[in-house]
Structure 1
Amino acid sequence: MSLSLPGAMEGSSRYPSVFVVDGPARGAPFVPPVPRSQKTRPHGQLFLGLLVLMALAGLAVQAYFLIRFRKELDKATAQGAAQASHERLIQDPRPPPPPEKPGAHLTAASFTVTGNDTLQWEHQHGLAFLQEMGYEAGSLICRKPGHYYVYTKVSLEHASCSTVPQAIRLVTHSVCKRTPLYPREIVLLTNIVPSCGTETWRQNSFLAGVVQLQEKEEIYVKVSQAQLVRAKDGTRSYFGTFMI
């Protein structure tokens, strides 16, 4: 917009024209400049989101292959077990019997004594048994060579010691062996018990040990005063062995 003073054209002197420039309109909104970091933030968030998606995808693929590997392993294990069981059934349809070691247990439910003080035992009834062992005339006969644990217990009793001579008041309890390799008996275990310490006398004698036996060798029990041995229900006096 331009303005002219009145009378400016009428005189000889002229005045310069005055020009007024309008200023900016008042009341216009002010927009602040956007920082550069705010302009690039959406790109960074997108990049982080892509990384998270890639990590989740990798975990999913790994889980998938682990599940497949587990299924294949279970399938192979089941097939191997079934094949092994089938082969065992073909080779031997019956389970193998448990190994049995020789052994015997003899009782004195009823007692008899031979002339050489060898005790005779019950070997068939009650608590008595024979397993891979023979029995004859009070002797256990070895059928399988090896080391054996041998044990024997006798219960001794005398009701009236006053009638027993002093010279025979000792009882010898022994385990002996008879072998084809030697002409005489061999004493393996022995115990000497003094008898008749009181008027009514009772005493137990126990022997046990490990011996080596060969096939056809015999072991037996001898008691010097065999009439003092008491037998009742097979639990007071007994004789036995088993392979170790």
Structure 2
Amino acid sequence: MADRVVQPSVFVVDGEASGCPSVPSGRWRRRRRGRCSPTQLLLAILVLLALLGVALEAYFLKRFQEELQGTASQISKGINSSAAKMIQEQTLKVEKPAAHVTGAIGTQSASGEAVLQWEHALGLAFLHQVDYRDGHLQCTKPGHYFVYSKIQLGELRCESPNYREASMFTHGIYKKTPKYPEEMALMVSNKPYCGRRDVDQWLDSSFLAGVFFLEELDEVYVRVPNKQLVRVKDGTRSYFGMFMI
């Protein structure tokens, strides 16, 4: 029996052979077709982030609107409360005695004193729980009062023979009380006038104010000896008044 010779298998590769490569199975094709490319995945992430941003913006905008409405409501309540408080305070103030007289319409009183006379009923003038009599404001309720007076001054021709020694203008607020026979000076101001050689016309003003305790029937008034210097014009230039604090 002849010996069997085993020869190795020989594979012949023909590089020039024509033909199509093997086509992958249908299952592999379906798996590959279902995958997303990196670009598509990135776009999906960006879209999700954009939608999330819009949702967060809408949420915070709604919260901001709610807080804004709440703040506006609180401010409105605060304004209404403040307005009511101011009205109440003004009402309480009206209950206190007060007076404001204007104009300085004369200087001679019925008693012969050089006391300024005032307009006490017209324009800006008023009386509330304070009596006016012959230039005097009479207290009807005891308490601490803020008393004030402003006088507008003027001289058209300063013809003083000696300009170095200016004349003096005296503006004073005085008080009379039934408990004491003499008048008492509450405030007095002395101002020089016509003291400059280079001007003929002189204009100035004098203002006095202070807090004093007044009892019932006490009277306060303004006395100005230099009555020719007082300029009236309207009720905003010269006035006199008092109110309880």
Selected match of 1:160 from 150, 157, 173: 157
Aligned equivalent of 2:140: 143
Aligned residue pair count: 148
- Runs of 5+ consecutive residues of structure 2 not aligned to the other structure: 1-89
Structure 1 position 162, deviation (Å)? 0.6
Give 1:110's aligned amino acid. I
Aligned equivalent of 1:116: 113
Aligned equivalent of 2:184: 186
Aligned equivalent of 1:176: 174
| CA deviations over 1:87-129 (Å, ceiling 9, x no partner) | xxxxxxxxxx944000000001633434432100000000000
Matched, 1:102 2:100: no
Q: 1:217 to 1:165 in 2, by over 3 A?
A: farther
Give 1:151's aligned amino acid. Y
Q: Rg: which structure is higher? A: 1
Detail structure 1 runs of 4+ shifted over 4 Å in the superposition: 163-168
Matched, 1:218 2:213: no
Q: Distance in 1 between matches of 2:143 and 2:161?
A: 43
Q: What SS does structure 2 have at the residue aligned with 1:185? A: strand
Identity %: 50
Q: Distance in 2 between matches of 1:195 and 1:126?
A: 30
Q: What SS does structure 1 have at the residue aligned with 2:114? A: coil
Q: Distance in 2 between matches of 1:111 and 1:224?
A: 12
Structure-1-length-normalised TM-score = 0.57
Mapped contact 1:109–1:233 kept (Cα < 8 A): no
Give 1:108's aligned amino acid. G
Mapped contact 1:142–1:213 kept (Cα < 8 A): yes
Give 1:172's aligned amino acid. T
Q: 1:168 to 1:141 in 2, by over 3 A?
A: farther
Q: Distance in 1 between matches of 2:244 and 2:172?
A: 20
State the superposition RMSD in angstroms. 2.1
Give 2:158's aligned amino acid. C
| CA deviations over 1:53-96 (Å, ceiling 9, x no partner) | xxxxxxxxxxxxxxxxxxxxxxxxxxxxxxxxxxxxxxxxxxxx
Q: 1:202 to 1:180 in 2, by over 3 A?
A: same
Q: Distance in 1 between matches of 2:134 and 2:150?
A: 19
Q: Distance in 2 between matches of 1:216 and 1:137?
A: 14
Q: Distance in 2 between matches of 1:129 and 1:164?
A: 43
